[in-house]
Amino acid sequence: MPRPLVVGNGRLLINFDDRLHMRDLYYPYVGQLNHVGGHFSKLGVWVQGRFSWLDEDGWQRTLGYGKESLVTDVHAQHEHLGLSLRIADGVHQRDPIYLKRIHVRNLTSEAREVRLFFNHDFSINETEVGDTAVYDPVQRTVYHYKRNVYIMVNGRTSESGIEQFSVGIKRFNYAEGTWRDAEDGILSGNPIAQGSVDSTISFRLMLAPQEEKTLDYWMCIGDSYEAVKTLNQYVLESDPERLLNRVAVYWQRWVNKEERDFADLPESVVNLYKTSLLLVRTQIDNNGAILAANDSDILQYNRDHYSYMWPRDGALIACAMAKAGYTGTVAPFFRFCADALNEDGYLLHKYNPDGSVGSSWHPYIVDGEIQLPIQEDETALVLHALWEQYKSGKQLEDCQALYPTLVRPAARFLLQYIEPAYQLPKPSYDLWEERRGIFTFTSATVFAGLKAAARFAQLFGDDRRYKRYDEGAERIREAMLKHLYDADLGRFLRGIYLRQDGRVEKDFTVESSLFSIFALGVLPADDPRVASTMEAVKRSLRVDTEVGGFARYQGDYYFKKSHDTAKVPGNPWIICTLWVADWEIAKARTLEELEEPKKRLSWVVSHALQSGVLSEQLDPYTGAPVSVAPLTWSHATYVATVLRYLEKVNELR
């Protein structure tokens, strides 16, 4: 399921799996319209009558990225074929162009002919119906098209361009696809096919003993034949090798634009920090949507995916990126949210990258009672994140423009959506989207959202609203201490449920999101009530296996791997483990007290994929990634925790 290699530019996103298949190609939005859809577009090699696809056993594959870059550094070697390949993949930093450069080395002592085959299994606009694949003899390229999406592939060696080609029918009427045609080393040359189609092209290299030669391959995506033809010509004129080098330089400059002292953090922790910044960028659409994840294999579990913009995830990711110095990167997110805001001032469950409303499982009516199908924290956290954005970038004009369109209507909703008897937010769904009630996490986010609105009102001289928002936030703080803190337990509850018969049911489940009490400013980190709550989190949610880490909450069932709840309260999550580190950092009073959270950062590094990709959660016994990877929230939380650590080091010094 994981996607260890991800390259993109905010318009085009391409994912590869661990066997080097291209599994996802999103365009023109990151996360919307997957023109590969989890099928296997792959690379094969023919040498001296023997053929092998790179996904087969026999290849030793090492997957990674170039130093501080979104250009891959992949090594593949096959001892029996006597070949090694060094592969660099990247997406142009501006245009929808995918570039690939392969260094092919002959490991034997004899001269040999090597042929490389590229298979393309597209389902344009997410369906195989009505696609066309065609060889273009004028451009000497192959392209696929349907309606307003064209994908043109081309390449060249030092001697020539495409050597052979074939297009044909796939997965229909016993036809497997042109990838099968490639396995004898010769393509049939069929020039056109329609319907459910694929294509394969090949290139030829003549290698002396121990010689290495290179092949450049590229893919241009656009909304018309003229668009992809123009991009193809641009690659030819600019030289594909130089273009790929420029892509690497761009991302190196981008990830290092903020000069930062990383104190005593190990190099591996710093490297993952930079990799995380780059990977988060690939998941941000240029129009503002911040996508949760784009690993399409999750489809097989519930016929839906993570390629949505959850306002909560987006807000927390935007916070991290703003603090890291990338306010310009996430500024469109807030305009996206302003446009998406309901006329009553709240945001819905999730959104598609084009701004339309995403799928949901939150009903409007339960047991005859009409309700809002929302997670209120998603609205509140956007206001909190906007204030963090302002603090980091001081973009007064942007925030002034959003004050009447986002801040005021959202704050008005937060003030009105209050349970009168308790002065807490009315019931809504929790951040894990599993239960409906009044939760400590949601209440903390509403407190933070109203505080952010109050600060904006004060900033813009709106004294009347400042007082209203600030007093509303303080009432929620007082109500949280009265109703959500249990003095007998000596810690905060996960939440309470208001039953139809008038009863109030307390939820005593220990929950990792209780870190929000200090993280969102309800109480300081060293408050005894916070300390007792977080100690309960550490004690009750620790995964007592060699893998370690912390679970979301007691009895977590999502992708459950163990029934031994005493040792494994749930699978360890990257973000939940980092939330524990955040508290340890916040309460530290000496540099020595930072050793434990520093170890937790190294724990995250040790459970990243070889390429640096972080998953959502881990198998508690093997440490293997579970659910999607990369998860944008995991990478952003890691960035945020590193920054908190560095701030604390500077403070203590």
Mean pLDDT across 426-448: 97
CB 89 within 8 A of CB 7: yes
- 464 within some domain: no
- Give residue 37's pLDDT: 85
- 376 within some domain: no
- 16 within some domain: no
Q: What is the C-alpha to C-alpha distance for residues 129 and 366, in angstroms, rounded to an integer? A: 40
Q: What is the C-alpha to C-alpha distance for residues 291 and 293, in angstroms, rounded to an integer? A: 6
- Give residue 171's pLDDT: 87
Mean pLDDT across 561-568: 91
* 3-class SS of residue 386: helix
Radius of gyration of the CA atoms of the chain, in A: 27
Mean pLDDT across 159-181: 92
- Give residue 174's pLDDT: 78
Phi, psi dihedral angles at 530 (to 5 degrees):
-70, -45
The answer to whether residue 301 scores a pLDDT higher than 80 is no
Beta pairing partners, 6: 15
DSSP string across 549-589:
-B-SBTT--TT---S-TTT-SS--BHHHHHHHHHHHHHH--
Reading phi first (left if > 0) and then psi (alpha if -120 to 50, else beta), residue 542 is in beta
Peptide bond into 332 cis (omega under 30): no
Q: What is the C-alpha to C-alpha distance for residues 202 and 183, in angstroms, rounded to an integer? A: 11
Band (pLDDT 50/70/90 cuts) for residue 173 is confident
Instruction: Tell me the two tokens of residue 99.
Output: 């570039």
14: Cβ contacts below 8 Å, ≥ 6 apart: 6, 7, 8, 22, 24, 25, 26, 89, 91, 98
Mean pLDDT across 122-144: 97
370: Cβ contacts below 8 Å, ≥ 6 apart: 364
- Give residue 302's pLDDT: 60
220: Cβ contacts below 8 Å, ≥ 6 apart: 96, 97, 98, 151, 152, 153, 154, 228, 231, 232, 235
* 3-class SS of residue 205: strand
CA dihedral 343, 349, 351, 356 (to 10 degrees): -40
Mean pLDDT across 87-108: 98
- 90 within some domain: yes
Q: What is the C-alpha to C-alpha distance for residues 497 and 506, in angstroms, rounded to an integer? A: 7
DSSP string across 126-190:
G--TTEEEEEETTTTEEEEEETTEEEEEEEEESS-S--EEEEEE-SBTTB--HHHHGGGS-----
First to last CA, the chain: 44
- 574 within some domain: no
Mean pLDDT across 208-216: 98
How many independent structural domains does the chain possess? Answer: 1
Query: pLDDT per residue over 580-638, tens digit each?
Result: 999 999 999 999 999 999 999 999 999 999 999 999 999 999 999 999 999 999 999 99
Instruction: Tell me the two tokens of residue 49.
Output: 């009558």
Query: pLDDT per residue over 330-378, tens digit each?
Result: 999 999 999 999 999 999 999 999 999 999 999 999 888 899 999 999 9
CA angle 470, 472, 476 (to 5 degrees): 115
- Whether this prediction's pTM lies above 0.85 is answered by yes
Band (pLDDT 50/70/90 cuts) for residue 506 is very high
- 553 within some domain: no
CB 23 within 8 A of CB 119: no
Band (pLDDT 50/70/90 cuts) for residue 300 is low
Query: pLDDT per residue over 392-422, tens digit each?
Result: 999 899 999 999 999 999 999 999 999 999 9
CB 165 within 8 A of CB 199: yes
Of the candidates 90, 87, 110, 101, the one whose C-alpha atom is nearest the C-alpha of residue 8 is 90
Structural domain of 188: 41-255
- 136 within some domain: yes
- 67 within some domain: yes
Tell me what percent of the residues of the chain surpass a pLDDT of 90: 94
- Give residue 618's pLDDT: 98
Residue 511 DSSP class: B
CB 205 within 8 A of CB 215: yes
Q: Which helix (H) or strand (E) holds 648?
A: helix 632-652
- Give residue 303's pLDDT: 60
CATH of the domain at 115: 2.70.98.10
- Looking at every residue in the chain, the average pLDDT score rounds to 96
Instruction: Tell me the two tokens of residue 603.
Output: 């724990």
Phi, psi dihedral angles at 97 (to 5 degrees):
-125, 125
